[in-house]
């Protein structure tokens, strides 16, 4: 089978590609080829695999051609992140909404020209949830909580969920939508996401660098490890419509954890000197965005697919440390760890 | 003040225009001008009013120019109807989604160029609600019921609700969104709406014509009279953000009534011979769409604005008969009524 991963050069996309290549199969079919579409070239280890090709450039420019290409399945992860969508509204509308619609239109054209229904996993986000004056958000959001996005990023993800559901209902694509929790610990540099600090307060101290935490220690948030997020995307791809339990997006499993608990876990894994590298310095812009996010999430439909949340934040930190050790070419280093 | 009504040549739009012209004010301001934008020219009585102008043509072509026009408020009613959106997917996406986005972009450009925030009332629809396998729809939907559209029309309305909410949050427009219930009794010919029969089973018998009812008599549905719908749109325009109670769309008041109760009311108003002109002939396509609609709606936020549902379906029928008598140029006639 031939697969396409949009955002395939990114952190989650590249990890998904590595996991799929290591498995060798998806939904019982051997994986012959994975194309990675992204603004930048994918990591060298992926390009070195004979089954991988790269498509570098804006997704919006790549979509039309997909109408005549034979991809059996697509993981659509490409997205501008929340912080940059707040700063640059047009960028978010183009990258998140227009690109997704162009992708859906290309797959609809493929279905109509060639009779081929493409399975499309869309990575939505817990950012679809928020409070509106008209409807208080429950502290812990469920699959069927009413979404009320408080960021343009969240709005764009929610709109794409509903576009996908209707293109699926019409038989244009076979859409499966999953809401990712905040994936942590991300390697590399801080990015424009308002949630970036959820990785920064672990990654930077482990690299011997001071990190600023822009919110208070009692802020709670639903997170998942990179491997859990990837496992969720694969399970959602492989699930039948009946197993998914509907066309609407489902929540992926979350570990609901406070910033203070994350730092306790950091101390437990790496010691008090490492934890001491985190300094609290409130950033009103970030804190304001985060205050409108849910403090936790449940994932009943994902649980029915056999997906489980990460059990302990210490495990998530150890996964990150293992990743750094296995891939010493990564930008992020570890300092002062035994 | 200067107002624009998109869909201003249509049934609800023209009635809204007449009501506003008769009031002479909106939100305490004298109404100097109302522009009516529609595919077809508005009714002659409106064009005869010196305060009215017409803009005939596709809304999508008219939007860009709005960036440099000084409209204080806009009622955005223009829409392709549910039946035609199911038949012609592209038409619905263009008429309902692309046109609304182009309107929002024009008003955003106006705000950025001229510093003027335009109040925009968006007419959404009870069609945003539906059942998904993942979440059973309550029989009676409330303001905060999770929407799960089962038609492309409903999806497009829901997507526009969320676009409007985010453009409002960003300060690009002052968006107020209200979900219209099924407006009945509509004059004229049956249209492409799947809900068209909710008017047809009253209008046709009153005109001496046989009418086919495509669903069974026990089908229940939330409806409103034309005057209630117009009163709702005006109240939602005039409400402050605090009075609206949030950025998300609110339900307008509904009379929750069964087809059988509608026909009982018809008999009460017009006699058994008129009722006998309705014949039940099931249409699986229509019945399938209607089966996915709510059987009733509540409207707590609209009630807080002082809006009340129609109390009796007989009143709604009498409103229609009065309209026909007051406007004998209407296409629809009355036959055999005393």
Q: Which residues of A are catalytic?
A: 153
Is the predicted pLDDT of residue A1 greater than 80, yes or no?
A: yes
B interface test, pick of A100, A148, A162 with most B CB neighbours within 10 Å: A162
Q: From A309, A292, A322, select the one nearest A149 (Cα to Cα).
A: A292
Is the predicted pLDDT of residue B333 greater than 80, yes or no?
A: no
pLDDT the model gives residue A281: 97
The CA distance from A140 to the nearest CA of chain B, in Å, is 16
Regarding predicted confidence, which is higher, B110 or B290? B110
Whole-Å CA distances, A171 to A164, A236, A247, B94:
11, 18, 12, 19
Nearest CA in chain A to B152: A166
Average pLDDT over residues B331-336: 67
pLDDT the model gives residue A266: 98
Domain ranges of chain B: 2-326
pLDDT the model gives residue B192: 74
DSSP state of B138: P
Write out chain B residues lying below 8 Å of A242, CB-based. Answer: 133
d(CA B180, CA B124): 6
Is the predicted pLDDT of residue A338 greater than 60, yes or no?
A: no
d(CA A112, CA A172): 8
The CA distance from A237 to the nearest CA of chain B, in Å, is 17
| Chain A residues contacting B via beta carbons under 8 Å | 89, 132-135, 143-146, 148-150, 152, 155, 158-159, 162-163, 165-166, 169-170, 242, 244-248, 250, 301
In chain A, the percentage of residues whose pLDDT exceeds 70 is 98
pLDDT the model gives residue A191: 79
pTM (2 d.p.): 0.96
A-to-B residue pairs, Cβ atoms closer than 8 angstroms: 84
Work out the mean pLDDT of chain B and round it to a whole number: 95
Is the predicted pLDDT of residue A329 greater than 60, yes or no?
A: no
Write out chain B residues lying below 8 Å of A162, CB-based. Answer: 149, 155, 158-159
Q: Which residues of B are catalytic?
A: 153
Q: Which of B134, B247, B250 sits opposite A144 (nearest CB)?
A: B134
pLDDT the model gives residue B290: 87
Cβ within 8 Å, pair A152-B170: yes
- A189-A193-A194 Cα angle (round to 5): 115
Is the predicted pLDDT of residue A331 greater than 60, yes or no?
A: no
Regarding predicted confidence, which is higher, B289 or B237? B237
pLDDT the model gives residue B332: 58
Cβ within 8 Å, pair B146-A146: yes
Nearest CA in chain B to A145: B146
The CA distance from B23 to the nearest CA of chain A, in Å, is 30
Regarding predicted confidence, which is higher, B142 or B188? B142
In chain B, the percentage of residues whose pLDDT exceeds 70 is 98
pLDDT the model gives residue B146: 96
- B188-B190-B191 Cα angle (round to 5): 105
Q: Which of B135, B159, B170 sits opposite A162 (nearest CB)?
A: B159
Residue B329 — very low, low, confident or very high, per pLDDT cuts 50/70/90?
Answer: low
Q: Which of B134, B152, B165 sits opposite A246 (nearest CB)?
A: B134
Arch. (CATH architecture) of B2-326: 3-Layer(aba) Sandwich (3.40)
Are A76 and A120 spatial neighbours (Cβ–Cβ below 8 Å)? yes
- Per-residue pLDDT of B288-307, as tens digits, reads 888 888 999 999 999 999 99
Is the predicted pLDDT of residue A334 greater than 90, yes or no?
A: no
- A318-A333-A83 Cα angle (round to 5): 85
Regarding predicted confidence, which is higher, B116 or B189? B116
Average pLDDT over residues A55-64: 95
Is the predicted pLDDT of residue A292 greater than 90, yes or no?
A: no
The CA distance from A134 to the nearest CA of chain B, in Å, is 5
Average the pLDDT over each of A33-37, A45-49, A289-293 and give the range with the smallest value: A289-293
Is the predicted pLDDT of residue A242 greater than 90, yes or no?
A: yes
Average pLDDT over residues A31-36: 98
Where does residue A32 rank: exposed (0-12), middle (13-18), buried (19+ CB within 10 A)? exposed
Are A259 and A217 spatial neighbours (Cβ–Cβ below 8 Å)? yes
Beta bridge partners of A121: A75, A176
Q: Which residue has the tokens 């008090």?
A: A272
Do the interacting molecules here have an ipTM over 0.85? yes
- Per-residue pLDDT of A84-97, as tens digits, reads 999 999 999 999 99
Residues 6+ apart with CB under 8 A from B115: none
The DSSP result for B234-270, as a single string, is: HHHHHS-HHHHTSSS-EEPP-EEEEHHHHHHHHHHHH
B interface test, pick of A153, A166, A236 with most B CB neighbours within 10 Å: A166
Write out chain A residues lying below 8 Å of B165, CB-based. Answer: 132, 148-149, 155
pLDDT the model gives residue B328: 60
Residue A51 — very low, low, confident or very high, per pLDDT cuts 50/70/90?
Answer: very high
Residue B336 — very low, low, confident or very high, per pLDDT cuts 50/70/90?
Answer: low
pLDDT the model gives residue A108: 98
Average pLDDT over residues B150-178: 97
d(CA A120, CA A165): 11
């Amino acid at each position: 089978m031939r697969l396409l991963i949009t955002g395939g050069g990114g952190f989650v996309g590249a990890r998904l590609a590595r996991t799929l290549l290591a498995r060798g199969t998806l939904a019982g079919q051997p994986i012959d080829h994975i194309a990675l579409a992204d603004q930048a070239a994918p990591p060298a280890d992926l390009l070195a695999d004979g089954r991988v090709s790269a498509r570098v450039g804006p997704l919006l420019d790549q979509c039309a051609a997909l109408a005549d290409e034979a991809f059996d399945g697509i993981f659509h992860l490409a997205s501008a992140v929340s912080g940059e969508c707040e700063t640059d509204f047009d960028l978010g509308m183009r990258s998140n909404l227009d690109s997704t619609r162009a992708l859906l239109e290309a797959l609809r054209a493929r279905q109509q020209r060639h009779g081929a229904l493409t399975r499309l996993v869309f990575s939505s986000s817990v950012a679809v949830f928020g409070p509106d004056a008209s409807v208080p958000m429950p502290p812990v959001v469920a699959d069927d909580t009413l979404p009320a996005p408080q960021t343009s990023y969240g709005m764009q993800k929610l709109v794409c969920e509903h576009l996908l559901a209707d293109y699926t209902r019409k038989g244009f694509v076979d859409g499966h939508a999953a809401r990712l929790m905040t994936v942590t610990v991300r390697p590399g540099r801080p990015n424009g996401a308002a949630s970036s600090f959820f990785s920064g307060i672990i990654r930077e101290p482990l690299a011997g660098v001071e990190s600023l935490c822009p919110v208070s220690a009692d802020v709670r948030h639903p997170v998942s490890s990179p491997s859990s997020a990837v496992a969720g995307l694969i399970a959602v791809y492989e699930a039948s419509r009946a197993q998914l339990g509907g066309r609407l997006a489902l929540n992926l499993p979350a570990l609901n954890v406070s910033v203070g608990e994350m730092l306790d876990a950091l101390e437990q894994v790496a010691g008090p000197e490492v934890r001491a590298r985190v300094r609290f310095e409130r950033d009103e812009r970030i804190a304001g965005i985060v205050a409108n996010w849910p403090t936790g999430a449940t994932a009943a439909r994902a649980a029915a697919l056999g997906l489980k949340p990460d059990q302990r934040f210490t495990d998530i930190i150890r996964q990150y440390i293992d990743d750094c050790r296995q891939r010493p070419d990564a930008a992020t280093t570890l300092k002062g760890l035994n």
